Amino acid sequence: MDNNFDIIIIGGGIVGLATAYKLTLQHPNKKILVLEKEKEVAAHQTGHNSGVIHSGIYYKPGSYKARNCVAGRRELVAFAKEHKIPHDICGKIIVATDESELAHMNKVYNNGIANGVEDIEMIDSKRIKEIEPYCEGIAGIWVGCTGIIDYPAVARKYVELIHAKNNGSKVLTSHKVIGFEKNGENTIVATEKGNFTGRYIISTSGLQADRITKKAGTKTDATIVGFRGDYYDLTEKGMKKVKNLIYPVPNPKYPFLGVHYTRMINGGTECGPNAVFVFDREGYSKTAFSLRDTAEALAHSNTWKFFANNWRFGLDEYRGAFSKKYFLNRLRKLIPSLEMDDIIPSHRCGIRAMALGTEGTMLDDFKIEKNGNAMHVINSPSPAATASLAYGNEIALMATEYFRLS
C-alpha cells in the first residue's frame, strides 16, 4: 500500500469527512487520507447528537456559525435528497412560557431574519396548540425549515464519495494517531497500525482536538472539556403528546438550548438533554471516569473559571442527571400534562466537546490554529453537523490558500 499522501486529515467525524470530500472536489489531483481511531466513522459527536437539522435562527448575525449554518443547511438538504439519506423537514416551535422570556424570544426571531432563515414566523398561544396540542405557551416562533436527519448516514455517504474518486484518496478506520515526526517538508503521521507520510496535515479531532494539536507541535490556549447530555425517551403513551420538535426559549446566560423534545429520524421521541461535566471525554455513562481526562481538565484554570461562572447552572444540571422527578419537572415547563410513566431513561447520550478560552468562557465560534504545514480545527461547535458541507468547504478553501494548493 502506498502510504504517501498530499493531505492527511485526522478525525473521521462529519467535519473531517466533509472537509476531505470538499477537497476531493476542489483538488481531484490530490491524494487525501482520513485517519479515524474508532472502528466506524462518526463514532462520537456526530453519531451521538440528536439528528436535528438546525435552521440558523439562534446565532449572532454575521458570525461564522450564522453564515455557514443557513448555507450549509440548504446544501445538506439538497445532498440528502440527491443521495436518498433519511430526513424530514418537519419544522419546530420555540415556545415562551413566561413573559420574562419574550424579549429574548424576539431577539432570537430577529437573529433569524438577519441571518436569512426562511419560513419563520411569530405565533400566538392558539397557533402553538394547533401545532402541538399538548404544549402550553404564551407565544412562540414557528421554524418551518428545521428538520431531522440520520447524520451517521451522511458521514458514511461522504466516505463513499471520497472512495468513488478513485484517485488514491481513502478513509481508514481503526487507525489511532499516536505521534508526528517532521521529515523535511513532509510530516510522518504514526498510527497504531503503521506510518503515513503527508505533505500537509489537517486535524478535525473533536473531543481530542487540543491533544492532537499539541502532539503535532502547535500551541493552543484553548482547553477542551466534555459535557454529557442525558436524555429520556417518551413511552408509547408519552409519544402521543409530541408531534415533532418543541424547544424552550434558551436562557441567554448559558451556552445550551435547554431541555427540548425531538422526534428521531429512526423512530421514537427523546427529551433532554441536560449538560453535565464529564470525567471521561469519551465515557458514555453517568459513572464513566478517566483519571487522565479528569486530571487534565481540572489542571486548567480555564475549567475552574468556567465552573465559577456557571456553578448554579451546573448544580441544577446534576440534579437533573440523577433525579427522574426533577428532570420531569423541567420537561413539564413545555408540556405540563407529562407524567412519570410518559418517560423512560434513554440508552443514548451525547458528549459535546466544549472549547474554553483563557477566561473560562466558551468559545462560541470556529477556532483554527495554523502552524507550519498543519491546520488544526480546535473548535467546531454546533451546528457543525448541519453545516458540515459549508464548514468542510470553508476549511478546504482555507487549506487551499494557506498551503498554496494548486
Q: What is the pLDDT of residues 51-72, one digit of tens each?
A: 999 999 999 998 889 999 999 9
Q: Are residues 260 and 182 in the same domain?
A: no
C-alpha cell at 83: 443521495
pLDDT at 244: 96
Q: Is residue 120 situated within a structural domain?
A: no
Contact 128/74 with Cβ under 8 angstroms? no
For the segment 176-191, the average pLDDT, to the nearest whole number, is 96
For the segment 157-169, the average pLDDT, to the nearest whole number, is 96
Whole-structure pTM value? 0.95
Q: Are residues 161 and 215 in the same domain?
A: yes
For the segment 4-9, the average pLDDT, to the nearest whole number, is 98
Distance linking the first and last C-alpha atoms of the chain: 25
Q: Are residues 325 and 350 in the same domain?
A: yes
pLDDT digits (tens, 9 = 90+) for 203-251: 999 999 999 999 999 998 888 999 899 899 999 999 999 999 999 999 8
pLDDT at 94: 98
Q: Are residues 234 and 316 in the same domain?
A: yes
Q: Is residue 125 situated within a structural domain?
A: no
For residue 319, name the pLDDT band (cuts at 50, 70, 90).
confident
- Whether residue 255 is predicted with pLDDT greater than 70 in this model: the reply is no
pLDDT at 193: 95
User: Strand 139-143 relative to strand 120-124: parallel, antiparallel, unpaired?
Assistant: antiparallel
Backbone angles phi, psi at 369, to 5 degrees: -105, 135
Task: Compute the chain's Rg from CA coordinates.
Answer: 21
Q: Is residue 326 situated within a structural domain?
A: yes
Total structural domains within the chain? 2
Q: What is the Cα–Cα distance from 210 to 68, expressed in whole angstroms?
A: 23
Q: Is residue 330 situated within a structural domain?
A: yes
For the segment 262-267, the average pLDDT, to the nearest whole number, is 96
Q: Which residue, 399, 396, 5, 2, is CA-closest to 187?
A: 5
pLDDT at 111: 97
Q: Is residue 51 situated within a structural domain?
A: no
pLDDT digits (tens, 9 = 90+) for 342-368: 999 998 899 999 899 888 888 888 889
Q: Are residues 267 and 189 in the same domain?
A: no
For the segment 315-344, the average pLDDT, to the nearest whole number, is 89
Q: Are residues 204 and 259 in the same domain?
A: no
Q: Is residue 13 situated within a structural domain?
A: yes
Residue 41's contacts (CB-CB under 8 Å, 6 or more residues apart) are 12, 13, 17, 152, 155, 156, 159, 171, 173
Q: What is the domain extent for residue 26?
A: 4-46+152-222+364-402
Helices 388-402 and 64-82: crossing angle in degrees, nearest 10, is 110
Query: Where do the H-state alpha helices sit in 83-150?
Result: 102-114, 125-131
Residues of the chain with pLDDT > 90: what percent? 79
Q: Are residues 347 and 369 in the same domain?
A: no
Which residue's C-alpha cell is 464519495? 161
Domain of 40: which CATH number? 3.50.50.60
pLDDT at 252: 81
Q: Are residues 350 and 379 in the same domain?
A: no
C-alpha cell at 320: 437533573
Pairwise pLDDT comparison (316 vs 349), residue with the higher score = 349
pLDDT digits (tens, 9 = 90+) for 16-54: 999 999 999 999 999 999 999 999 999 999 999 989 999
Cα 104 from chain centroid (whole Å): 23
Burial of 371 (0-12, 13-18, 19+ CB in 10 A): middle
pLDDT at 364: 81
Most confident stretch, 256-260, 284-288, 332-336: 332-336
Q: Are residues 214 and 306 in the same domain?
A: no
Helices 324-331 and 301-322: crossing angle in degrees, nearest 10, is 90
Q: Are residues 237 and 353 in the same domain?
A: yes
- Whether residue 1 is predicted with pLDDT greater than 80 in this model: the reply is no
Q: What is the Cα–Cα distance from 371 to 33, expressed in whole angstroms?
A: 20
Q: Are residues 227 and 334 in the same domain?
A: yes
Contact 113/74 with Cβ under 8 angstroms? no
Q: What is the Cα–Cα distance from 363 to 255, expressed in whole angstroms?
A: 10
Q: Is residue 379 situated within a structural domain?
A: yes
- Looking from the CA of 237 toward its CB, the CA atoms found within 13 Å total 8
What average pLDDT does the chain have? 94
Q: Are residues 257 and 188 in the same domain?
A: no
- Whether residue 395 is predicted with pLDDT greater than 70 in this model: the reply is yes
Q: Is residue 63 situated within a structural domain?
A: no
For residue 310, name the pLDDT band (cuts at 50, 70, 90).
confident
